[in-house]
Amino acid sequence: MTTTTSSATAVAPQKGKVLFARTPALTDTVTNYCPGCTHGIIQRLVAETIDELGIEGTTVGVCPVGCSVTAYDFYSCDMVQAAHGRAPAVATGLKRSCPGNTVFTYQGDGDLASIGMAETVHAATRGEKITVIFINNAIYGMTGGQMAPTSLPGQVTQTSPYGRDIETAGHPIRVCELLSTLDGVALAQRVTVDSPKNVRAAKKAVRKAFEYQIEGLGYTIIEVLATCPTNWGLTPTAAFGWLRDNMLPYYPLGVYKDVKAGEGEK
Amino acid sequence: MARIEVDMNYCKGCGLCVDVCPQDIMQLNSEIMTQKGYHPATCVDQDACTGCTSCALMCPDVAITIER
Ligand SMILES: Cc1ncc(C[n+]2csc(CCOP(=O)(O)OP(=O)(O)O)c2C)c(N)n1
Ligand code: SF4
Residue at A213: amino acid letter: Q
d(CA A212, CA A182): 16
Instruction: Identify the DSSP state of A12.
Output: S
Q: Where are the domains of chain B?
A: 3-67
- Taking only the tens place, the pLDDT of each residue in A3-44 is 434 444 444 455 689 999 999 999 999 999 999 999 999 999
**Residue in A151, A242, A244 with CA at minimum distance from that of residue A197:** A244
Residue at A35: amino acid letter: P
Q: What is the per-residue pLDDT for A15?
A: 63
A39 Cβ below 6 A of ligand 2: yes
Q: What is the per-residue pLDDT for A13?
A: 52
Measured in Å, residue A34 CA sits from the centre of ligand 2 at: 5
- pTM (2 d.p.): 0.94
Separation in Å, CA of B4 to nearest CA in chain A: 9
A67 Cβ below 6 A of ligand 1: yes
Q: What is the per-residue pLDDT for A14?
A: 52
For residue A49, tell me if it sits in a domain: no
User: Looking at this predicted complex, what is its ipTM?
Assistant: 0.97
Q: Does any CB of chain A come closer than 8 Å to the CB of residue B40?
A: no
Q: Spell out, as residue ranges, where chain B has pLDDT lower than 50.
A: none
Instruction: Identify the DSSP state of A157.
Output: B
Q: Does any CB of chain A come closer than 8 Å to the CB of residue B9?
A: yes
Q: Does any CB of chain B come closer than 8 Å to the CB of residue A37?
A: yes
> Residue A230's domain is classified under what CATH number?
3.40.50.970
How many domains does chain A contain in total?
1
Q: What is the per-residue pLDDT for A2?
A: 40
The three-state DSSP-derived secondary structure of A59-98 is EEEEECCCCCCCHHHCECCEEEECCCCCHHHHHHHHHHHC
Answer yes or no: do A35 and B62 touch at CB < 8 A.
Answer: no
Separation in Å, CA of A243 to nearest CA in chain B: 15
- Taking only the tens place, the pLDDT of each residue in A138-153 is 999 999 999 999 999 9
Q: What is the per-residue pLDDT for B1?
A: 80
Question: Mean of the pLDDT values across residues A216-242?
Answer: 98
**A138, burial (CB in 10 Å: exposed 0-12, middle 13-18, buried 19+):** buried
- Taking only the tens place, the pLDDT of each residue in B27-40 is 999 999 999 999 99
- Chain B CB contacts of A196 under 8 Å are 20, 52-54, 57-58
Q: What is the per-residue pLDDT for A1?
A: 38
For residue A21, tell me if it sits in a domain: no
Yes or no: say if A100 and A60 are a contact pair by the CB < 8 Å rule: no
**Residue in A68, A228, A89 with CA at minimum distance from that of residue A148:** A228
Answer yes or no: do A36 and B14 touch at CB < 8 A.
Answer: yes
Which of the listed CATH numbers 3.30.70.20, 3.40.50.720, 3.40.50.920, 1.10.3720.10 matches domain B3-67?
3.30.70.20
- Taking only the tens place, the pLDDT of each residue in A106-130 is 999 999 999 999 999 999 999 999 9
- Taking only the tens place, the pLDDT of each residue in A39-79 is 999 999 999 999 999 999 999 999 999 999 999 999 999 99
d(CA A170, CA A148): 11
